Structure 1
Amino acid sequence: MVRRKQELGRFTDVALLVLISLAEGQKHGYRMINDIEEFSGTALEPGTLYGALMRLEERGWIEAVESAERRKPYRITESGRDALGEQLATLRRIEQAGARRTGAAWGLA
């Protein structure tokens, strides 16, 4: 299988949630944890979040924003928006295939 440049890899779930959260605007970690739980029902532990932030920052998909406050906010980059768009398009195709296949298998198509 050929890996695409924008693929999120084995950290897809958390990385995707972080990118979606930051697509709305810059946030610090605690605010991201609350936002992600609110829109997805997924409760992230700080260690899980900060590991994902580190990986996303290394890929250039997010960046830290200077702040006078103690908390460190992050924002999504253009390449992060591109990666998010690709991942969401893939998820839409998966959802559509799943709906077609389960509908046909269960007599709902």
Structure 2
Amino acid sequence: GPAVLAPDLQLMQLQLTELLMRRNAEQVQQQTLRKVQELESVLEQERAAKLALSKECSALQLLVQEAEQERAQWETRSKECSARLVKEAAAAADANAQ
């Protein structure tokens, strides 16, 4: 039949198996840790990119607001100018009529 190991040999085999399993578990742990670190690094890069984008968006929104204000000012000035021209034309027509 199968060879039966002496008790001390069985113990040695058990210890060896345990050692191998522990080493394997440590390797798995290290690999997992590495993957976690890689993921964290990727997330950090994404976070930085999002932050940069949001800053850029804020700056652009500010520019748009400024442009809107400027456009509104120009519109007001343009209306004032048109009104003045209409008044002056009416006054000139009046003067010519007399």
| Fold-level similarity (TM above 0.5) | no
Q: TM-score, normalised by structure 2?
A: 0.32
Higher-Rg structure is 2
Q: Which has the higher helix share?
A: 2
Q: Which has the higher strand share?
A: 1
Q: TM-score, normalised by structure 1?
A: 0.29
The higher-RCO structure (CA 8 Å, 6+ apart) is 1
